[in-house]
Amino acid sequence: MTEPCFDVAHLGHLEILTNRFDESLDFFVRVYGLTESGRDGNSVYLRAFDDYEFHTLKLTKSDTTGVAHIGYRVSSPEALERRVKVIEKMGCGIGWVDGDMGHGRAYRFRSPDDHIFELYWDTKRYVAPEAEKPKLKNIAQRYHGRGVGVRRLDHFNLLAKDVRAFKAFMVEALGSRVTEQIQLDNGRLGGCWFTVNNKSYDVAVTEDHAGEASHARFHHITYAVDQREDILRAADIFLENGVHIETGPHKHAIQGTFFLYVWEPAGNRVEVANAGARLILAPDWQTVTWTETERKKGQAWGLKTIETFHTHGTPPVAAKH
Amino acid sequence: MTEPCFDVAHLGHLEILTNRFDESLDFFVRVYGLTESGRDGNSVYLRAFDDYEFHTLKLTKSDTTGVAHIGYRVSSPEALERRVKVIEKMGCGIGWVDGDMGHGRAYRFRSPDDHIFELYWDTKRYVAPEAEKPKLKNIAQRYHGRGVGVRRLDHFNLLAKDVRAFKAFMVEALGSRVTEQIQLDNGRLGGCWFTVNNKSYDVAVTEDHAGEASHARFHHITYAVDQREDILRAADIFLENGVHIETGPHKHAIQGTFFLYVWEPAGNRVEVANAGARLILAPDWQTVTWTETERKKGQAWGLKTIETFHTHGTPPVAAKH
Amino acid sequence: MTEPCFDVAHLGHLEILTNRFDESLDFFVRVYGLTESGRDGNSVYLRAFDDYEFHTLKLTKSDTTGVAHIGYRVSSPEALERRVKVIEKMGCGIGWVDGDMGHGRAYRFRSPDDHIFELYWDTKRYVAPEAEKPKLKNIAQRYHGRGVGVRRLDHFNLLAKDVRAFKAFMVEALGSRVTEQIQLDNGRLGGCWFTVNNKSYDVAVTEDHAGEASHARFHHITYAVDQREDILRAADIFLENGVHIETGPHKHAIQGTFFLYVWEPAGNRVEVANAGARLILAPDWQTVTWTETERKKGQAWGLKTIETFHTHGTPPVAAKH
Amino acid sequence: MTEPCFDVAHLGHLEILTNRFDESLDFFVRVYGLTESGRDGNSVYLRAFDDYEFHTLKLTKSDTTGVAHIGYRVSSPEALERRVKVIEKMGCGIGWVDGDMGHGRAYRFRSPDDHIFELYWDTKRYVAPEAEKPKLKNIAQRYHGRGVGVRRLDHFNLLAKDVRAFKAFMVEALGSRVTEQIQLDNGRLGGCWFTVNNKSYDVAVTEDHAGEASHARFHHITYAVDQREDILRAADIFLENGVHIETGPHKHAIQGTFFLYVWEPAGNRVEVANAGARLILAPDWQTVTWTETERKKGQAWGLKTIETFHTHGTPPVAAKH
């Protein structure tokens, strides 16, 4: 066994595209409870109240939906250099970009499905303006209690044509560990859950049922709340605000996360989740592999996985003729 | 800035002494909800249902109370070697021991207050016997729902004569980061909260009001539950079982943890805690420093810190004459 | 408007039949968390920890399943006389019985579907033996925290061939108020929710899809827990104990109750529910009527009603040939 | 035993005085989560989202604080006549008033401490304007999730010079039942908890430590939330909004209610409470009497009763010289 890699510290932010910008922004701010920390051009920068960085979601006006890029923060400047070397060697590097309103220069590269990732060290810490200063100084921003009121960015989920190839990519490029996975009867991997730190996962990658028509598709973004009760309360808030609730609240069999999935107005899937006190502390965690038979039992308490969960991704795949 | 140290993976276990062995064991198993995984000589090995190792609490028959030793698991065999070199150089090393029922060889060393620490890599994973196998294979043991039913070891708290000296020790010996601390008006540190991973703290060290009479004293051990509601429920369970509830449930100002403190029958303080979704993800987290004035506001929602919280530790300090 | 009727105080108990007596008893005591308060002949008397009467569930050994009888306690001896007069006039009276281990003489009568009801005034209050005495004297029995640990009997659900006829029966015989109902497109009532006090319902009666084959069938019995979190926790307890979870946890659209349905080993459906702070305080509450179209939206947050919820009742209906 | 009295259906509303009108209104609407349903002259009419009547709190501009009057709704027009007869006979009647924006004519009378009560039958049901219509039609108004977001009026607490005299008044005038009480060592009653329905209490009356200086003083008003978690969340909301938190969250020994007390900007004490699934269903409930010794144990889990809880009432009592 080689030593575990700690070069990548944590998931930093996602850039999400929307073709219904005003409605999506209203959803994320008023209903989901994020706070705007800045805007430029076609984008608004958003954050949950205890995210320590300037932003964790960049919402960008577009003629389509899906994820534009995903940013991870590294552990140190040296770690960034090490990762770039590995990625360049892998041949999937794109190159350096100057950074963004919320962070400094970043190195971009491509997943096997063409999703754009970036790694960065220099970041801009969120400094709460007077009206957003918390009463307890160990949280980044006041708990405003608006809408769902999520606490921090948790993870995201991508769709991939070949999960096994994606797994190799994540392990090599980011030094991610595979905490859980689904082994299909046909020999393919149905899904993989990865982490770079003690969270049980920061990204899930699942097989895109759209097959070859799929290209860099996005499944969902998730913010964490402190308690499962926050998710039950969120369900009422989504209901009253006319948000499409896709499935949940329920408890995932995989990872044991308590979940609720909705579609924001443009169709991007958004989750609210709570992992309880679960953490992956073992440095030599052994991947938990679920068989297809086991998965057919549904979620933890028997809820069947809803059909759209396998078919709906963003951007949508054009109907075939 | 040097790169952050990831040599130590997580807190592994504590050995706690009791002079009321049967009553303490009954408390930890029937009321607190731990499971016995083994026993030898004067000790019983205990674990919470989702601890991945064989044990996280070694309860040992004694003529006194307090903590006998604290074990941390390292990230790799190489990390163990690196740490031992550092500790030997610090001059606080004791040497190698063969290990225990729950893990392999370990290197022992002393805190400035003579608490015994150990580092180890080789561990014994818990293998659930048939009756304890969970229905979902990503947890270590079935959720039996007995008593408080804590999920996993969370952290512990030691008392120290000189918190500043202890801080230097933890940072150097374990590579811990200081996430929060109390700066007293007299220039001393009142307390320090440390972590080696993404948990907001795995150990707190607070000033012992017993002063020079203090020697390697113990403040409390804490297991985590998944939800704050589990703590409210625990309060009723403690009440009905005649367990002394010292303070709580309430929310700490420091770290924001929801807490409940009780004394097990021999007098060792035991906490049940929930941190919500709070994690320390920033690799360059900036220590939050609380002043004495700020601390006088009490806990997050105004509860005053109870007097015994400053005076009661184990073993008790002999009355002065 | 005539004055509201307060003659019947509350649902008192159900007698449930089981053809797997030992397994059913183990379920109700060890998993569901009831306490045995007595037994005689083929029956065991069970109670939740805050039921004030001797028992709320009489579990009886049988060669079939379903409900044997339902008991309601009246508000006073005079109220009992008034009710008996009304019922005798209705022509559905059976007559007086001597009572049972848990209460005094009772007047029995039949529902339009032949379910046996009884009304009684004289009851036996539960007196906790030493080991069951609570630390707070305003609850009936200590909170033991065993299994799901339900607090008190809440309501039950019967199946009926003709809900409209059943509605007339309940309103006249017990003076029940109809808090909510389902109006089907075919002119029939799909279900009715009744209450005799401030609870939003103490009985639901829904149309039996078995049609003419149906006879005095039972849908489910429900005990209340204090918090929704108790229901999420219950789901894990059911899962780990191999209990069939039929549907939930989720929130009902009708009545807004948070629910979880399981089948006890003999097949009788059992619910755990929490109504939050909802009460029917208006003395002139106006029945809420749901259309078939509205019901097709599923439960509050979109969960579709599971097929067995319409077809599974006890005793089972013989397959048709 | 005479038959229980069901003439009074439920607590209807309170009129609270404030000498900081704008701040108090901001507190009740933005922080506590009530909705304005009307205003006239010096008063604003407020309601919780599931109160079925037009208002449950009338907030009135004044040069002082405290309660101006308390309204209870009766069970029927006939019940109103019966009660008025009784009250007139008691000699504490004031007479009929025309009613208010939220209800029709009402009969007013005085408590032994000069608190003004009124009984009414004709009420104005809340009709939600389009923007406030709930997605589920069995609640009165949409769950807007603003601030604490309380569900419905629960109870209130008055101070009295002579609790025993007040007890006789409540039992005779309203037909209330005494569910719990405190028996002091000096032979006086320290407090009494009353109910007219299945709620465990709708009013508490406790001895005013201000003694003879006391006149018609007010202790607190309470709205109910659905879950204890809502109260923990409320604590953070109060904290962030600079509201004075007096004590809690904790569980009362008496009645077992989970509570949190704050002072609105003018000084009136306001509670958020959750009673779990506890109801008083027994028509012949036996009053639970607590001794002074028992009360000294503090609240359910040991929290000591805070001094201001005994001394702070509204309006404040002038300092003695």
Q: For chain D, list the contacting chains (3+ Cβ pairs, <8 Å).
A: A, B, C
- For residue A162, is pLDDT > 80? yes
B251 to D228: CB separation less than 8 angstroms, yes or no = no
**Averaged over A23-30, what is the pLDDT?**
98
Handedness of CA A83, A88, A93, A96 (dihedral sign): positive
Cα D266 to Cα D24: distance, rounded to the nearest angstrom = 6
Q: Is B192 exposed, middle or buried (0-12, 13-18, 19+ CB in 10 A)?
A: buried
C277 to D180: CB separation less than 8 angstroms, yes or no = no
C232 to A251: CB separation less than 8 angstroms, yes or no = yes
Q: CA of B249 to nearest chain D CA: how many angstroms apart?
A: 7
Query: Is the distance from CB of A50 to CB of B278 less than 8 angstroms?
Result: yes
Of A3, A76, A279, the CB nearest to B79: A3
D280 close to B (CB below 8 A): no
- For residue B1, is pLDDT > 80? no
> Which positions in chain A touch D136 (Cβ < 8 Å)?
239
Cα B290 to Cα B149: distance, rounded to the nearest angstrom = 33
Of D151, D256, D285, the CB nearest to C136: D256
Interface contacts A/D by beta carbons within 8 Å = 37
B82-92 pLDDT, tens digit per residue, is 999 999 999 99
C244 close to B (CB below 8 A): no
C275 to D277: CB separation less than 8 angstroms, yes or no = yes
Confidence tier at C1 by pLDDT (50, 70, 90): low
- For residue B320, is pLDDT > 70? no
**Averaged over D158-178, what is the pLDDT?**
98
CA B19 and chain centroid, separation: 20
ipTM of predicted complex: 0.96
Cα D64 to Cα D62: distance, rounded to the nearest angstrom = 5
> Which positions in chain B touch A152 (Cβ < 8 Å)?
277, 279, 281
D217-252 pLDDT, tens digit per residue, is 999 999 999 999 999 999 999 999 999 999 999 999
Chain B 292-311, CB below 8 Å of chain D: which residues? 300-303
> Which positions in chain D touch C198 (Cβ < 8 Å)?
10, 197-199, 279
A118-140 pLDDT, tens digit per residue, is 999 999 999 999 999 999 999 99
Determine the Cα angle at D136 with ends D133 and D141, to 5°. 35
Q: CA of B9 to nearest chain C CA: how many angstroms apart?
A: 30
| Closest residue, chain D, to A239 (C-alpha) | D135
B13 close to A (CB below 8 A): no
Q: Note the pLDDT of residue B212.
A: 82
C256 to D139: CB separation less than 8 angstroms, yes or no = yes
D67-97 pLDDT, tens digit per residue, is 999 999 999 999 999 999 999 999 999 999 9
Share of chain C above pLDDT 90, in %: 94
> Which positions in chain B touch A198 (Cβ < 8 Å)?
10, 197-199, 279
Look at residues A88, A89, A57 and name the one whose alpha carbon lies nearest to residue A70. A57
B168-212 pLDDT, tens digit per residue, is 999 999 999 999 999 999 999 999 999 999 999 999 999 998 888
Query: Is the distance from CB of B274 to CB of B225 less than 8 angstroms?
Result: yes
A34 close to B (CB below 8 A): no
Of A142, A227, A237, the CB nearest to D240: A142
Q: Note the pLDDT of residue D1.
A: 62
| Closest residue, chain A, to B79 (C-alpha) | A3
Write the single-letter amino acid at C109.
F
Q: Note the pLDDT of residue C78.
A: 98
Confidence tier at A169 by pLDDT (50, 70, 90): very high
**Interhelix angle for D228-240 vs A228-240, to 10°?**
80
Structure tokens at A308: 């759209």
CA D256 and chain centroid, separation: 17
Cα C198 to Cα D156: distance, rounded to the nearest angstrom = 19
B135 to C239: CB separation less than 8 angstroms, yes or no = yes
| Closest residue, chain D, to B249 (C-alpha) | D250
Query: Is the distance from CB of B249 to CB of B274 less than 8 angstroms?
Result: no
> Which positions in chain D touch C78 (Cβ < 8 Å)?
3
- For residue C321, is pLDDT > 60? no
Q: What is the pTM of this model?
A: 0.98
D138 close to C (CB below 8 A): yes
Q: CA of B139 to nearest chain C CA: how many angstroms apart?
A: 12
What are the two backbone dihedrals, phi and then psi, of residue A6, each rounded to the nearest 5 degrees?
-120, 20
D319 close to C (CB below 8 A): no
Q: How many CB atoms lie within 10 A of CB C60?
A: 16
Q: For tokens 């035991």, what's the residue? A: B270
Cα B191 to Cα B116: distance, rounded to the nearest angstrom = 19
C239 close to A (CB below 8 A): yes
- For residue B110, is pLDDT > 90? yes
Please state which architecture CATH assigns to domain C8-311. Roll (3.10)
B232 to D302: CB separation less than 8 angstroms, yes or no = no
A142 to D227: CB separation less than 8 angstroms, yes or no = no
**Averaged over D259-288, what is the pLDDT?**
98
Residues 6+ apart with CB under 8 A from C131: none
B256-312 pLDDT, tens digit per residue, is 999 999 999 999 999 999 999 999 999 999 999 999 999 999 999 999 988 899 889
A89-116 pLDDT, tens digit per residue, is 999 999 999 999 999 999 999 999 999 9
C52 to D277: CB separation less than 8 angstroms, yes or no = no
Of A73, A76, A253, the CB nearest to B3: A76
Q: Is B106 exposed, middle or buried (0-12, 13-18, 19+ CB in 10 A)?
A: buried
Identify the bridge partners of residue B193 per DSSP, sorted by sequence position.
Answer: B180, B204
> Which positions in chain C touch B242 (Cβ < 8 Å)?
135
Of D136, D145, D240, the CB nearest to A135: D240
Q: CA of A90 to nearest chain B CA: how many angstroms apart?
A: 25
Q: Which CATH number fits domain D8-123+143-311: 3.40.190.10, 3.10.180.10, 3.20.190.10, 3.30.470.30?
A: 3.10.180.10
Of B228, B251, B260, the CB nearest to D229: B228
C141-196 pLDDT, tens digit per residue, is 999 999 999 999 999 999 999 999 999 999 999 999 999 999 999 999 999 999 99
CA D196 and chain centroid, separation: 13
B136 to C239: CB separation less than 8 angstroms, yes or no = yes
B239 to C145: CB separation less than 8 angstroms, yes or no = no
CA D188 to each of CA B245, D165, D182, D310: distance values in angstroms, whole numbers, following the listed order: 31, 10, 9, 16
Q: Is C26 exposed, middle or buried (0-12, 13-18, 19+ CB in 10 A)?
A: middle
C142 close to B (CB below 8 A): yes
B230-247 pLDDT, tens digit per residue, is 999 999 999 999 999 999
D103-139 pLDDT, tens digit per residue, is 999 999 999 999 999 999 999 999 999 999 999 999 9
**Interhelix angle for B228-240 vs D228-240, to 10°?**
120
C227 to D78: CB separation less than 8 angstroms, yes or no = no
C147 close to B (CB below 8 A): yes
Confidence tier at D320 by pLDDT (50, 70, 90): very low
A249 to C250: CB separation less than 8 angstroms, yes or no = yes
Classified as helix, coil or strand, A56 is: coil
Chain C 90-109, CB below 8 Å of chain D: which residues? none
C249 to A250: CB separation less than 8 angstroms, yes or no = yes
Cα A54 to Cα A123: distance, rounded to the nearest angstrom = 8
> Which positions in chain C touch B230 (Cβ < 8 Å)?
229, 233
| Mean model confidence pLDDT for chain D | 96
Of C239, C258, C301, the CB nearest to A301: C239
Look at residues C50, C53, C58, C55 and name the one whose alpha carbon lies nearest to residue C132. C50
